[in-house]
Amino acid sequence: MTTAFASPSTYVQGKDLLKTASKYIKPFGDHGILLTDDIVWGLVGQRFYDYLTKGGLKIEHVQFGGESSPEEIDRIKEIAAKSDAQFVISLGGGKTNDTTKAVGDQLKIPIIITPTLASNDSPCTRLSVLYSEDGSFLKYLFYDKNPDLVLVDTSVIAGAPVKFLIDGIADALSTNVEAQSVRRARETTLLPLQTQQTEAGLALAERCEALLFHYADQAVAAAGDHTVTPALDHIVEANTLLSGVGAESSGLAAAHSFQNGLTALSGDVHKLSHGQKVAFGTLLNLVLEGASDERLVRFLTFEHRFGLPTTLKDLHLENASEDDLRKVAELTTQDGETIHNMGFKVTADDVLEGIKAVDAFSRSYFG
């Protein structure tokens, strides 16, 4: 058995971290580009730029176009190459991060990720999701290494609408559920190395889940008041570092395949975030593996408390036909999907029945 573990070279988290970020970046060089969209630039980007330049760095601000597309990657890569950038910094959300990773990888320069939200675990992973310029999914890009530096300013995270933190909690909640499925099946992980889990990767996934159940209520309350507390620190770390590294080094299973399967449909379901869709997928993962009532209820009530989808109605699919749900089930189980890491054969019929079972159990439990 060959195992592997991967993570960012350095992860730094703290309140008002942007003010002192230059000292963490200087080891990579004295000049680079800062990629951020117009909204983030207005909220925090200008201040971050000023902190970096006052800290002795030469920074070129590059406006992100909004889509992590091959065309956008090529455009930014050309700018970075012309300026002989020694590093590339992302300040923003998932698509900004993904574009920055691609640029850094292709130019072979250090990648620095500075997330403004704790809504997903993309800052720490060695992959990007690519889309066409019109927003259609294209493919995943896998890299030889994770980002060189991840800087998480918890005051910036706390300043964002609390719904984004809840999205991250929903995504992180799937990490250990899927990791345990992969462990039982002895399947390979998300790393592009065809390797199995290390105990370290599995431990991070388990710790991620523990922090969510211990501190999520406090953290959501604090974030709703735009306040940084120890509980918020724990949840930001769980959403960003533990979920990202834990999932990548421990593997995915049914929860994320269900999220992918939903792309078989159009409509209001796609107004939901990645984390919201994965939340229902986590319950589906539990049902498919035959979780006990006690275990299923633990996750169900946790999700319901934060307003996450636990029924078809919550997914805006209460009027979906049997054929529509079967399309989701068929796409969820297509070749190459991580649902096949469950350790037993999972068919489209199994998924269809599982979706109905989650919906029925949730409706029955909450009356």
- Which pLDDT band holds residue 367 (cuts at 50, 70, 90)? confident
Fold observed for domain 10-158? Rossmann fold (3.40.50)
Q: Tell me the pLDDT tens digit for each residue of 105-157.
A: 999 999 999 999 999 889 999 999 898 888 777 888 999 999 999 999 999 99
Look at the alpha carbons of 115, 17, 47, 156 in this order and tell me if their dihedral is positive or negative: positive
Per-residue model confidence (pLDDT) at position 137: 76
**Is 256 one of the annotated binding-site residues?**
yes
Distance separating alpha carbons of residues 228 and 24, to the nearest angstrom: 22
Per-residue model confidence (pLDDT) at position 277: 97
**Is 226 one of the annotated binding-site residues?**
no
Rg (CA), the chain: 20
Domain positions in the chain:
10-158, 161-366
Q: Is pLDDT of 95 > 90?
A: yes
Distance separating alpha carbons of residues 167 and 314, to the nearest angstrom: 14
Q: Tell me the pLDDT tens digit for each residue of 264-300.
A: 999 999 999 999 999 999 999 999 999 999 999 999 9
CA distances, 37 to each of 44, 49, 61 (Å): 11, 13, 10
Q: Tell me the pLDDT tens digit for each residue of 219-244.
A: 999 999 999 999 999 999 999 999 99
**Is 275 one of the annotated binding-site residues?**
no
CB 93 within 8 A of CB 119: yes
* pTM of the predicted protein model: 0.95
H/E element, 60 = strand 58-63
**Is 274 one of the annotated binding-site residues?**
yes
Per-residue model confidence (pLDDT) at position 239: 98
**Is 239 one of the annotated binding-site residues?**
no
- Which pLDDT band holds residue 199 (cuts at 50, 70, 90)? very high
**Is 205 one of the annotated binding-site residues?**
no
The strand pair at 137-142 and 127-131 is best described as antiparallel
**Is 121 one of the annotated binding-site residues?**
yes
Q: Is pLDDT of 44 > 90?
A: yes
For the residues of 80-148, what is the DSSP string, one character each?
HHHTT-S-EEEEESHHHHHHHHHHHHHHT--EEEEES--S-SGGG-SEEEEE-TTS-EEEEEE-SS--S
Mean predicted confidence (pLDDT) in 95-99: 96
H/E element, 212 = helix 199-224
Averaged pLDDT score across all residues of the chain: 96
CB 237 within 8 A of CB 13: yes
Q: Tell me the pLDDT tens digit for each residue of 317-338.
A: 999 999 999 999 999 999 999 9
Give the residue carrying structure tokens 């080891």: 27
Give the residue carrying structure tokens 């993904």: 98
**Is 116 one of the annotated binding-site residues?**
yes
User: Considering the chain, what percentage of its residues have pLDDT values greater than 70?
Assistant: 100
Dihedral, CA atoms, 178, 172, 153, 92, nearest 10 degrees? 90
**Is 191 one of the annotated binding-site residues?**
no
**Is 117 one of the annotated binding-site residues?**
yes
**Is 127 one of the annotated binding-site residues?**
yes
**Is 49 one of the annotated binding-site residues?**
no
Q: Is pLDDT of 53 > 90?
A: yes
**Is 37 one of the annotated binding-site residues?**
yes
Neighbours of 107 (CB within 10 A): 17
Per-residue model confidence (pLDDT) at position 226: 98
**Is 108 one of the annotated binding-site residues?**
no
Phi, psi of 127 (to 5 degrees): -145, 160
Per-residue model confidence (pLDDT) at position 217: 98
**Is 96 one of the annotated binding-site residues?**
yes
Per-residue model confidence (pLDDT) at position 61: 98
Fold observed for domain 161-366? Dehydroquinate synthase-like, alpha domain (1.20.1090)
**Is 134 one of the annotated binding-site residues?**
no
Per-residue model confidence (pLDDT) at position 149: 98
**Is 125 one of the annotated binding-site residues?**
yes
Mean predicted confidence (pLDDT) in 23-39: 98
